[in-house]
A and B are shown apart, each in its own frame.
Chain A
Amino acid sequence: MDSNVIETAGLRRTFGKKGEIEAVAGVDLRVGSGSIFGFLGPNGAGKTTTLRILATLLPPSAGEARVMGYDVAKDPEQVRRRIGYVAQSGGSDPRMSGRGELVMQGRLFGLSGQAAKVRAQELLEAMDLADAGDRATEGYSGGMRRRLDVAIGMVHKPGLLFLDEPTTGLDPQARARMWDEVRRLRETGTTVFLTTHYLDEADALCDRLAIIDHGRIVAEGTAPELKKAIAGDVVTIGVDGSGELVARLLEQQPFVREAGVVDGAVRLYVDDGEASLPLVLRLLDGQGLAPQSLALHRPSLDDVFLRQTGRSLRDAA
Chain B
Amino acid sequence: MRLFSDTWLMFKRSLGLTFRQPAWLIAGVVQPFVYLLLFGPLLNSFSGMPGFPPGGAFNVFVPGLLVMTALFGSTFVGFGFIDEMRHGVVERMRVTPMSRTATVLGRSLRDVVVFLLQGCILVALAIPFGLTINPLGFVVAFGLLALIGLMLGPVSYAMALVIGSEDALAPLTQAIALPLLLLSGVMLPMSFAPDWLRTIASFNPLYHATLAIRALFNAQFSSPDVITGLLTTGAFALLSIFVASRAFNRRTA
Which chain A residues have a beta carbon within 8 Å of chain B's beta carbons? 55-57, 59, 73, 76-77, 80-81, 83-85, 87, 89-96, 100, 104-105, 107-110, 152
Q: Are B93 and A108 in contact (CB-based, < 8 A)?
A: yes
Closest chain A residue to B6 by CB distance? A108
Given A59-B253, A96-B17, A104-B13, residue A80 in contact with residue B88 (CB < 8 A) = no
Other-chain contact of B84, A56, A85, A93 (Cβ < 8 Å) = A93
Q: Are B9 and A87 in contact (CB-based, < 8 A)?
A: no
Interface size on B, residues (CB 8 A): 22
Which chain B residues have a beta carbon within 8 Å of chain A's beta carbons? 5-6, 9, 13, 16-17, 20, 84, 86-89, 91-98, 252-253
Given A92-B87, A94-B87, residue A80 in contact with residue B92 (CB < 8 A) = no
- List residues of chain B with CB within 8 A of the CB of A81: 97
Q: Are A57 and B88 in contact (CB-based, < 8 A)?
A: no
- List residues of chain A with CB within 8 A of the CB of B98: 108
Q: Are A76 and B92 in contact (CB-based, < 8 A)?
A: no
Nearest chain B CB to A286 CB, angstrom units: 60
- List residues of chain B with CB within 8 A of the CB of A100: 13, 16
Q: Are B91 and A91 in contact (CB-based, < 8 A)?
A: yes
Task: Give 10 A-B pairs besides A55-B95, A83-B95, A91-B88 with Cβ atoms closer than 8 angstroms.
Answer: A57-B252, A59-B253, A85-B92, A87-B88, A89-B86, A92-B88, A93-B17, A96-B13, A107-B5, A108-B9
Q: Are A93 and B97 in contact (CB-based, < 8 A)?
A: no
Q: What CA separation (Å) do A110 and B89 show in the bound complex?
A: 18
Nearest chain A CB to B181 CB, angstrom units: 30
Q: What CA separation (Å) do A310 and B215 show in the bound complex?
A: 77
Nearest chain A CB to B174 CB, angstrom units: 27
Q: What CA separation (Å) do A239 and B97 show in the bound complex?
A: 58
Residue from the set B13, B87, B94, B96 with the largest chain A CB neighbour count within 10 Å: B96
- List residues of chain B with CB within 8 A of the CB of A85: 92, 95
- List residues of chain B with CB within 8 A of the CB of A95: 17, 20
**Interface residues of chain A: helix, strand, loop or mixed (majority):** loop
Q: What CA separation (Å) do A159 and B126 show in the bound complex?
A: 59
Q: Are B87 and A93 in contact (CB-based, < 8 A)?
A: yes
Given A80-B97, A93-B84, A104-B13, residue A57 in contact with residue B89 (CB < 8 A) = no
Nearest chain B CB to A194 CB, angstrom units: 16
Nearest chain A CB to B16 CB, angstrom units: 8
Q: Are A56 and B95 in contact (CB-based, < 8 A)?
A: yes
Q: What CA separation (Å) do A76 and B94 show in the bound complex?
A: 10
- List residues of chain B with CB within 8 A of the CB of A105: 92, 96
- List residues of chain B with CB within 8 A of the CB of A93: 17, 84, 87, 89
Q: Are A89 and B88 in contact (CB-based, < 8 A)?
A: yes
Nearest chain A CB to B110 CB, angstrom units: 14
Q: Are B89 and A92 in contact (CB-based, < 8 A)?
A: yes
Closest chain B residue to A110 by CB distance? B97
Residue from the set B5, B20, B89 with the largest chain A CB neighbour count within 10 Å: B89
Closest chain A residue to B93 by CB distance? A108
Q: What CA separation (Å) do A95 and B16 show in the bound complex?
A: 10
- List residues of chain A with CB within 8 A of the CB of B84: 93
Nearest chain A CB to B10 CB, angstrom units: 9
Given A59-B253, A95-B20, A96-B17, residue A90 in contact with residue B88 (CB < 8 A) = yes
- List residues of chain A with CB within 8 A of the CB of B93: 91, 108
- List residues of chain B with CB within 8 A of the CB of A83: 95
Q: What CA separation (Å) do A76 and B91 show in the bound complex?
A: 14
Q: Are A80 and B89 in contact (CB-based, < 8 A)?
A: no
Nearest chain A CB to B79 CB, angstrom units: 15
- List residues of chain B with CB within 8 A of the CB of A89: 86-88
Q: What CA separation (Å) do A108 and B95 show in the bound complex?
A: 10
Q: What CA separation (Å) do A85 and B17 show in the bound complex?
A: 24
Q: What CA separation (Å) do A87 and B91 show in the bound complex?
A: 8
Q: Are B91 and A80 in contact (CB-based, < 8 A)?
A: no
Q: What CA separation (Å) do A96 and B20 show in the bound complex?
A: 10
- List residues of chain B with CB within 8 A of the CB of A80: 95-97
Closest chain A residue to B91 by CB distance? A87
Q: What CA separation (Å) do A107 and B99 show in the bound complex?
A: 12
Residue from the set B5, B94, B95 with the largest chain A CB neighbour count within 10 Å: B95
List 26 A–B pairs whose Cβ atoms lie within 8 Å, in order of A's numbering. A55-B95, A56-B94, A57-B94, A57-B252, A59-B253, A80-B96, A81-B97, A83-B95, A85-B95, A87-B88, A89-B86, A90-B87, A91-B89, A91-B91, A92-B88, A96-B13, A96-B17, A100-B13, A104-B9, A105-B92, A105-B96, A108-B9, A108-B93, A108-B96, A108-B98, A152-B92
Q: What CA separation (Å) do A89 and B94 show in the bound complex?
A: 15
Q: What CA separation (Å) do A238 and B13 show in the bound complex?
A: 60
Q: Are B17 and A87 in contact (CB-based, < 8 A)?
A: no
